[in-house]
Structure 1
Amino acid sequence: MDFHRYRPLPGTPPASIEGHITFTVPVEQDQHVRVAMTYVAPYSEIAESLHQFTSERTDRCKPFSVGTTVQGREILGLRAGTPGKPKLFCVAGQHPHEHAGMWGVLGIADFVSSLLPEAAALRDQLDVFVVPTVNPDGNVLGRNAFNAEGFDMYQAFGDNPDADLPEAHESRLLWEWVETEKPALWMNFHCYTGWRLNSEYPYDGWYEVEDRTLFSDPAQRQLYAALCDTMRLETDGPSTHERASIHQPNTLCYQFAKRFDLPHAFYEINNGTAGKHLGAQRAIHVLKRVTNTLLHYVQYDE
């Protein structure tokens, strides 16, 4: 399949006519164009929502920060749960134009700090850290896949997977946080628009680490296999080719598994069928299924 992540199309530049934005794209015979709207997730709105949650729900959550970006913006997060319990680290926004992922993780922040009985039970069993936008500079600057320095935070190690640390400043902050806090699981949400090899429209997609021997601990290897079964069988991320996309060695997911024995759940929300609300609903559903699996194996080990 000749797949291009970004494909230029001939047409006219967008124009504003009577308050509406218009543009034209010529479509040849037997060709198809799918039109989807991106519901933008601005850093300012994400930050405002997190502040609202943490200021109004002080008995259920509190703010925390991973650090500051190259340009001095705070990488804001919400913490909810019980200190001393297994830690769950949930992030989005490595690619700052993938807005449905950020709306999804903001929805998770809303859920884990809510009054819902399921959320209360989760807080009793886990210590949850949620960061909807890990690349604020890229978000504010309107970048597609990069931070202010021009680094792709997903392909965190660039051309050198064996480097001691990731390339981007913000990726290093995530690395240091994981190395220090030692979470039991990290969840990483992205999004895409249209068709992918790892998904069937209108559903979502997911990625996995193919080499399970990266996990040196057999228990972690078994947990990760169970998490992959969860993603495959219990989420809206079906695979067109009956398998997930594969994390390459230069990604954080791969290196977290290899160096820290840290399992993950990596989920791509279809931006063409999910805006702010539905993106949140899908992310919350994934959270519920993944934490159900995690807690089973954590309790089993205990």
Structure 2
Amino acid sequence: TNYLGWLSRILNFFSSWITGVKGGENYFAQNLNRDELKSVLDKKTEQVDEEEAEAMKSLLDLRDLTVQDILIPNDEVISINIDELRMFNNEERNRFYPVYKESEDQIIGFIHSKEIEQLAEFKSDVEDFLIESYYVPESTQLFAQLKNFQKNGTEVALVVDEYGEVTGLITLEDLIEQIIGQFNEGDLKEGFEIIDDISLIAEGSVIVRELNKKMDWDLPEEGAKTLSGLIINHLDQIPKNNICIEIQSFKLETTKIEDNKILEVRITKIS
């Protein structure tokens, strides 16, 4: 999928619309009154059809989220030693892998899964296939990161905290899915299954902040951002077997754990 092409089209369309409504993209960046713009979109003018309006509302909502909210955390990232690339058993079809030489803390670039498949066919230097490392702060707004991806012509970046430590990575694909998921679903994005008014089943990779927003809950958002991270932080270890714990007014029961990863959790609000 040409994610950069898709990104350019939607951002250009959005910028053109903003220019017509509020006097330009700089106004949007500095003085955006989101509710006012949404009100204009809700009127469904002749220039904006319903689907376009919903897509642009999703872009407006990206100002509420940061890179930290949707990053892939370090414990879910597979890094590859450059000397092992040609032997790496790649089972993914659309994935970026960080590549390192001496230590996983010293990333020298990224390689796409499709490029790994081609390594066996070429005798050229492995480093010729690498994408240059690119770093972004956790605090970067998602809309700003969309523009960063477009400006740099890249689809993946390493994420660093306030101390410069790498905390995970973010991809353009995940960011676009955040937009599409918001205006296509109208309900919880993939990764949730509502059981009733007080309980649901969710994937361990679900963002706690998103869960709170959708369910009007108040699970802790400080520290770990994913549901699995929340449980691991509470236990101070990775559970080997399914467990049931209480965090504030919620009961969290893991229902699927594989390879030291919490894949599925049942959550019930108990008060």
Query: Which of structures 1 and 2 has the bigger CA Rg?
Result: 2
More RCO (CA 8 Å, sep 6+):
1
Richer in strand (by share):
2
Richer in helix (by share):
2
